[in-house]
Every structure is written in C-alpha cells, then in structure tokens.
A = this chain, B = another copy of it.
C-alpha cells in the first residue's frame, strides 16, 4: 500500500478508505454496471478531512474522481487504476432548514429524495425533480447542473442553489454559503462550479432554495395527433396555465408503444396508436380552481383537435401510473440493450424535421436492427433519444453518434442538454462550442486546477 493511502487513512481512519474488492464491487456506470477500477475509494466525513486529503493528493500529484450517487450517464465518474475516488457518501447530513428564509443547508452526499422529503416536512418544496431521485445526490445534481421534469417552471439545479462550499484541487476550502436570494457582492463564484462535473472543485455543502409547497397537482396524459399539434398544445398550456405549468413531457409513439407493450409491466392508459403523447402537469395552491382551469385547457385542446384523447389523474396513484411510463428507464435499457443514449437540445421548431430525418437515416443504415425511442422535456427544447442497433461495438456507436450529431449543428443544437459531457461526449464538444469557448474553458480549468488533478479527462481532453 502506498504512502499516500496510509497518510489518508491517518486523516479519515480505516473505515474511510475502501480498497481491493470493496472498490471493484462498485459500479461507475448506471447503464453498463462497469466495475470501479480506482486505486481506492476515500470517504471523508467532513470538509476539513477532504481539505487535508486534497492537500496530500496535491503534494504528490494524485488525480481524483469525485463520486456522488453514480446515476450519471455520460461516463463522468469513471476512474482509472491510477486514480483515487473521493466519495461524499458519508457527508450526507441535512444540516439546517429555515422555513422563514426558505432555505436548506445540506452536505453534498444527501440524496435528492431526502432533501425533497425534508422540505415537504415543513410544508415547503425543493423544486428539482428527476427519476433518479432516490439515488442521486445533491452534490452530483450540482456538479452536473441537473435538469429533470420541472425545469419549465423552476429552472435547473443552478436556480436552486444559493450558496456553495467547495474544496479546490490544492485543498483550499472556498466557503460561499450565501443564504440570500440576491447577493451581488463580487463575482458569483458558485456559478463556476455548478455544471463543471467535478473538474474545477469538489462540492461539499450547499445552501438550497426552497419554494412554497403546491398542494394542488393536476396531471394528465394526452394523445396528440401531430407534432404541429404538440407545439400548439405547449403554447396553449404555456399561455393558459402560464404560472402553474410545471411539466410538459412529450413521448413519441416509438416510446409510448414500447413502454406499454405486453411484455413490459405498464398497461396503456390510452390507445397506443397516436403519433405523440404528452404528460402535462400543473402545480398550484387552489385545488378546485386549478382543476377547473386544467380541465378547461384540455377541453379547448380537444375542440381545437390538438389532442384526441386524455386521461386526467384522479388520485396520486393514478398520477404515479402516468409518470411511471416516462420514468422507467430500466425497461428501456432492457428492451434496447445494448443502448446508445443521447440528450440533445435544439429549437422546438426544428425538432420534428430533425427526428424524422434521423429515424430515416437510422432505418436506411440498419434496416433490420435499427430502433429509436424519443421522449423528453419538450417545453425546454430537450429530447432524450435512445438508439439500439443491437450491437455495442465502438464502431457502431461512432456511426450512430455521427447520425445523431450530424445534423444537430445546422440547428445550433447542443450535444448535451442536461446530462453533461463526461468522457462520453467529450470528443463532440466542438460541435456545440466554438474554438474560443473551449479555449476559455481550458483557461478556467488551468486557473483552478493547474495540475489537472480533478476528474481528469472529463469534459475537456
């Protein structure tokens, strides 16, 4: 065992360092379940411990990869045998909740679901929400600027963070635990770390913004006859439910039909022959009035033939049933195995042409095996595209990537809307970012982590 590990054990104790099989047993990739190859997994119990660990690593140029809930999908947590993993799993406390100030102070390792539940316990809400809520951590949500299903109403994780504490590559602790909605006293340093995927600093604690709880929740699954109708429906809902609209998720037929096929566990709530489906949700404070307004919009949509059918959730279990179809990624992974996953954004006006053309190209190149599933946060201009050609080879992946990213640039789209870049999309960064942008990213990386110790190779090569 090398000296560094011994020195780290002196800081965190034996229980704070995992070695050998305890490391290999862990997966670093949600899709492939690939085993963790790191030299060791180090588990600090405090910011002070982490600071000491990073000072030790900095002294001997030891690179580190930070782990949260490991629910990322862009290979952002992969570690080589030369790298140490820093896991925030033992720093998972909810330190403070302030109902008057509408803030919560948490350690980075707390899961999103615990944070949501802690907010609910004081009649507030934490507004970020996504399928991996039970496993993903606040630190990971911050490091990846997580999106999810309520971005249309509350913004991404960036909008939920008021303050941040970060350990830099040399062990310096930058505590910027602001609790106020507005603070223009100098540069807003937290912005630098949010969405930087662990390459500029290690997030240890955060002050989160809470919102009033919305007791009235209206949810519907609707069948939509065309893409034009889908965008018109989004406009109608945005306008008529403007203040309350909290989710507008679109499902292409290839998604809904697959997820409700007989062999999967979801029974279809609507006939499976509609070209598109949408999940629409509003949050409000007045159940009766909100239900009325919601029903009125659905009626208007029916009359205008923007929808052909609708199921309105009458209970929270019915609501659950609607969302399960959207959130069950495991069934998708199983059905499409081996699956290539994409998370793009592009202007809504171009989405239909883009997807149609992609589908045609896929079928032309893989007439037998090519399969595509499309769904996503339409209101945010963000689509998730899952593709299988029944072949996991690197060359097949590259060919599929060429198809997906090929026409994206002409629409000035992004190769990553909410999943980040990691290792997986790194080689395509220049499709969404200019030479000058990437050079500036590298300049920031060099300024904050001159030795390149933090999550090496992720985002930037």
Contact = CB atoms under 8 A, between A and B. Distances in A.
Interface of A: 98, 100-101, 144-145, 147, 151, 155-156, 158-159, 168, 172-176, 178-189, 191-192, 194-196, 200, 211-212, 214, 231, 238-244, 283-286, 289, 293, 345-349, 377, 380-382, 412-421, 425, 429, 432-434, 436-441, 443-444, 446-448, 459-460
A414 B176 contact: no
A151 B184 CA distance: 14
Q: How many identical chains are in the complex?
A: 2
A189 B460 CA distance: 14
A85 to B, nearest CB: 22
Given A243-B285, A434-B175, A184 B144 contact: yes
11 contacts: A100-B231, A101-B348, A158-B191, A181-B381, A186-B429, A186-B460, A188-B194, A192-B444, A242-B284, A242-B285, A446-B447
Contacts of A151: 181-182
B191 A432 contact: no
A441 B187 contact: yes
Contact of A187 (B101, B156, B195, B382): B195
Nearest to A241: B285
Contacts of A439: 172
Given A196-B187, A242-B212, A181 B443 contact: no
Nearest to A231: B100
A182 to B, nearest CB: 4
Contacts of A440: 168, 174, 189
Contact of A182 (B214, B381, B425, B446): B381
Given A242-B285, A436-B175, A417 B195 contact: no
Given A180-B382, A192-B192, 7 more contacts: A101-B348, A179-B412, A181-B382, A183-B432, A185-B433, A187-B441, A188-B194
B182 A418 contact: yes
Contacts of A98: 347
